[in-house]
Chain A
Amino acid sequence: MSSRTLEQDVCADTRATWQKLLERIPYARRLGLAIHQSGTGMEVHLPYRDALIGNIMLPALHGGAIGGLIEITARVAAQSRDAQARRPRILDCNVDYLRSARARPTYAAAEIFRQGRRTALVHVSCWQDRASTPVAHGRVQLLFETAPGGKIREEQ
């Protein structure tokens, strides 16, 4: 087995992990999100549907559809990196809209800026045509609750 194949196997495992984490989020299923593997890592894809439109004149995707893509991408990225795969709670999310998102598929990739025992800081970039011309950029803070009896369940 060549090292390239080994690398692909590792990536496949990561993709499977991300997909599994995504599939247990009912709202992610509602949005139709799916994990794709790119040359640089995992991507979350938001397929286009008419029900995602927020501005029928342009037309443009609803800011909330982009916000949801960003939040869920951050959550799956942070959870996939946690040793116990605990489900993080999103504390805050800040999205900058850079250009209007058209009636097309949208892609998101996460960059973990900090992953600690209790919190994670994840930046997410969203694009449609090219990753170099993002439609939105998000910054998400997540909390891994450690105290027993906390409100956040740890299912795994």
Chain B
Amino acid sequence: MAGTGNLADHDPVAVARQFGEQVPHSSDLGMEVLAMEADQVRMRLEPGPALHADDAAEELCTSVLYSLVDSACGLAVFAALRELKPIATLDLRMDYLRPAGSERALVATARCHHLTDDVAFVRCEVSSEEEDGPVAIGNATFMRGTQSKRVATKASRGDTV
């Protein structure tokens, strides 16, 4: 998945981090971009007491994982497109395999595994930092080019639906 799109002309991690930090909800929850390459993005979220699932449980709320996955999947689409073109989430499905302990940070790895002219398909795994195996898996579908003015640059690939 080589290619020299707009993001590749700059440091892609720097661009992604800057973009990620501009998203108020992501920065409000303390998400950071660890890595961004080709079609894959890695994000991290520091736990905190306000993100717990219950006053009586040392467990992060699944909705925090949901937000992290939504953000990571969106960034993975930008990584695959090599451009910050407008996209919109069509749907997102989360499977919560086991509770995420509140003492460890979350790390989400999202990969855009298929891209067509209209749609991007992304899969994301969330794990607790320094633990084996995912705590959650997300699958998202995004619409591409959702704002009326489509940027004139040519798509660098010829995928069709």
Residues of the B chain whose Cβ atoms lie less than 8 Å from the Cβ of A89: 96, 99
Bound-state Cα–Cα, A90 to B62, Å: 7
A95 touches B24 (CB 8 A): no
Contact of B91 with A90 in the complex, beta carbons under 8 Å = no
For A1-44 the 0/1 string (1 means CB < 8 A from B) is 00000000000000000000000111111110000000000000
Q: Are B52 and A64 in contact (CB under 8 A)?
A: no
* Interface residues as binary, B55-69 with A (CB distance below 8 Å gives 1, 0 otherwise): 111000111101111
Contacts of A131 in B (CB 8 A): none
Residue total for A at the interface (Cβ-Cβ under 8 A): 40
Contact indicator A67/B54 (Cβ below 8 Å): no
A72 contact from B25, B55, B63, B74, Cβ within 8 A = B63
- How far, in angstroms, from A152 to B56 measured CA to CA in the complex? 11
* A129 contacts B by Cβ under 8 Å: no
A51 touches B52 (CB 8 A): no
Q: Tell whether, in the assembled complex, residue A68 and residue B99 are in contact, meaning their CB atoms are under 8 Å apart.
A: no
Closest to A68 in B: B63
Q: Is B51 an interface residue (CB 8 A)?
A: yes
**Total chain B interface residues with beta-carbon distance under 8 A:** 39
- Would you give the shortest CB distance from B27 to chain A, in whole angstroms? 8
Enumerate chain B residues within 8 angstroms of A95, measured Cβ to Cβ: 91-93
Which residues 71-85 in A have Cβ within 8 Å of B in the complex?
Answer: 71-72
Q: A30-B50, A51-B24 are in contact. Are A93 and B93 (CB under 8 A)?
A: yes
Q: In the complex the two chains form, is A63's CB within 8 Å of B94's CB?
A: no
Q: Does A92 contact B93, Cβ atoms closer than 8 Å?
A: yes
A63 near B92 with CB under 8 A, answer yes
A53 lies within 8 A of B24 (CB): yes
Q: Which residues of A contact B56 (CB under 8 A)?
A: 24, 153, 155
Q: How far is the CB of B89 from chain A (nearest CB, A)?
A: 5
Chain A 89-106, CB-CB to B under 8 Å as 1, else 0, gives 111111111001000000
Which residues of B does A touch, CB under 8 Å? 22-26, 28, 49-57, 61-64, 66-71, 74, 86, 88-96, 98-99, 147
Closest 9 CB pairs of A and B: A64-B67, A68-B63, A62-B25, A27-B61, A51-B28, A67-B66, A26-B52, A94-B93, A53-B24
